[in-house]
Amino acid sequence: MAKRDRLSGNEAVAVAMRQINPDVVAAFPITPSTEVPQYFASFVADGKVDTEFIPVESEHSAMSACIGAQAAGARTITATSANGLALMWEMLYIAASSRLPVTLAAVNRALSGPININNDHSDTMGARDSGWIQLYGENNQEAYDNLIQAVKIGEHPDVMLPVMDCYDGFITSHAVENIELLEDDEVKAFVGEYNPDFYLNDRENPISVGPLDSVSHYFEHKRLQAEAMKNAKKVILEVAAEFEKLTGRKYGLFEEYMMEDAEIAIVVINSTAGTAKEVVKSLRAKGVKAGLIKIRVYRPFPVDEIVKALKKVKALAVLDKCDSFNAAGGPLFTDVTSALYGRADGIKVINYIYGLGGRDVKTDDIEKVYERLADIAKTGSVGEIYNYFGVRE
Amino acid sequence: MSNAVEIRWHGRGGQGAKTASLLLADAAFNTGKYVQGFPEYGPERMGAPITAYNRISDEKITVHSNIYNPQFVVVVDDSLLESVDVTKGLKEDGAIIINTTKSPEEIKSLLKGYSGRIFTIDARKISMECLGKYFPNTPMLAAVVVVSKVMPVEDFIKDMEESYAHKFASKPQVIEGNMAALRRSVTEVRSI
């Protein structure tokens, strides 16, 4: 039975971790993710979990400890943000290429510099090609639900990849909102036991993890890693279907909001999607055919599915809470436009960079984006492709 | 969202405005509402101006921006009236609730042309007399429930009693003072 509660995003994720009861948690605190290991450490101290909690001296060590533990056959979870994730960089790639399904609560925060503690997506967007599966969530409920599903997705034999559960720092991590929680035994049954085929502590089948991979095999291993990411899409949907049976909450690769007959649309990630939905609702009330796509699964990127969802749209804006400094557009824009190329040509697409370093995103800002899209749809004239909103110029 | 009550809190770091916004969210949640309680985060330190927010609604709330046009504004420290534009965006049919000992005339002159309803409460006096310490957030929490009518006052008092019993299980001596402060505050909110 679902339990109605009200929790911050970080509390919700810590509760999910308690319910998952992982074998190992290794973490180093950094705002705004600090509360996750903080709450979890209290569960450890109170004997509510059986987890070995490893307080390490840096995020590089946190990810290294996770890799060691997961390689030994332990289910392992950690949490971090911004520069903490940056310090894990080297080890992120090693977790993925060693096919170790570590789970990471990535609480999105602007990457320094300048130093800033508030939300944007520059941290996890930088890790988009590290080989991790990336799930993004709009609110505390999705951060909680995604963490529970992340464990099952990553550990699937056809996948065996690490997974990030990304949600907005402060906006989601520290705001208290309503949430529906699962019972402990429901989560336990849903994630099941972690029984990898190969692990270091298996005396009968000794293996080594992370040795030199020379010219003769390196490429084949990377090819298998790429295949695992392809497989992940199917597994993510299977896990979502099972989760829906349990909770009634439906998850896909992305959420389509009022897209059936949409002529103008935006593609957006995380909490801004919620703010934008309110705008779509009011535009619909005025007869404007506006829609929204909220990306849940950014890695693997749902190319075919997103093309199918967007192909009838006349004008589209892709919103990036992260700049790429390529003088061309943000990472989500690049992925969406390359998906459309040759598959759904003719859609007018523009990009907005917004909300960097926690700049608040108002419904007025989103309204202006839809106004411009309506104008593009009407006139066919695109104008500047690479834009910003909410910044003083 | 259209029927959501939006509240903005102004306080100084250490006065408990953030905690008060979370307690209000808790109390409203317990009456079956959808709630949001969140502070605006920056480099907080004791005494610096801080802002916190509440949305309370019968429907699911999806907006995640700060609040720019609140129905209610709560000012936990009246020294902020000189430095922060506390009535900015405040709806004309809304109200502002201020912790102060200042006269109505003085308050009105500090609110520069604001024509909506004004409520005051002496949270310092109530807190000192009931708790022996200055914790203005408890009286302000009661005041905002009285003025905003987001829930029946009796339900709020009952809910807070249960919440304190749980929160202060290890130091029950503080429960009585907090409850006395809440009850007194309910009757000492003044409209000017």
Looking at the complex, report in whole angstroms how far the Cα of residue B31 sits from the nearest Cα belonging to chain A.
12
Q: Which residues of A touch B24 (CB under 8 A)?
A: none
Query: Which residue in A269, A278, A362, A356 sits closest to A319, CA to CA?
Result: A269
Q: Touching check for B61 and chain A: CB below 8 Å?
A: yes
Chain A residue with minimum CA distance to B36: A177
Residue of A33, A168, A178 best to disrupt the B interface, most CBs of B under 10 A = A178
Please give the domain boundaries of chain A with CATH numbers for all domains. Answer: 3-247 (3.40.50.970), 254-389 (3.40.50.920)
Angle at A103 between CA A132 and CA A251, to 5 degrees: 80
Angle at A127 between CA A126 and CA A133, to 5 degrees: 140
Residue A338 phi, psi dihedral angles, 5° rounding = -70, -30
pLDDT in tens, chain A (393 residues): 689 999 999 999 999 999 999 999 999 999 999 999 999 999 999 999 999 999 999 999 999 999 999 999 999 999 999 999 999 999 999 999 999 999 999 999 999 999 999 999 999 999 999 999 999 999 999 999 999 999 999 999 999 999 999 999 999 999 999 999 999 999 999 999 999 999 999 999 999 999 999 999 999 999 999 999 999 999 999 999 999 999 999 999 999 999 999 999 999 999 999 999 999 999 999 999 999 999 999 999 999 999 999 999 999 999 999 999 999 999 999 999 999 999 999 999 999 999 999 999 999 999 999 999 999 999 999 999 999 999 999
SS3 content of chain A, % helix, strand, coil (to 5): 40, 20, 40
Domain containing residue B146: 5-191
Predicted confidence band of residue B43 (pLDDT cuts 50, 70, 90) = low
Q: Where are the alpha helices (DSSP H) in chain A?
A: 9-20, 35-45, 59-72, 82-87, 89-97, 122-126, 140-155, 184-191, 218-247, 272-285, 303-310, 331-340, 363-379
Specify the number of domains making up chain B: 1
Q: Touching check for A277 and chain B: CB below 8 Å?
A: yes
Q: Where are the alpha helices (DSSP H) in B31-171?
A: 104-110, 123-131, 137-148, 153-167
Supply A241's token pair.
């279907």
Among B25, B35, B65, the residue with its CB nearest the CB of A362 is: B65
Rounded-to-integer distance, Cα A227 and Cα A313, Å: 31
Query: Which residue in A45, A7, A280, A300 sits closest to A143, CA to CA?
Result: A7
Q: Which residues of A touch B1 (CB under 8 A)?
A: 278, 281
ipTM confidence score: 0.94
Among A168, A277, A361, the residue with its CB nearest the CB of B62 is: A277
Predicted confidence (pLDDT) per residue in B114-149, tens digit = 999 999 999 999 999 999 999 999 999 999 999 999
Cβ distance of B25 and A275 shorter than 8 Å: no
Residue B55 belongs to domain with CATH number: 3.40.920.10
Residue of B9, B19, B41 best to disrupt the A interface, most CBs of A under 10 A = B41
Supply A25's token pair.
């948690």
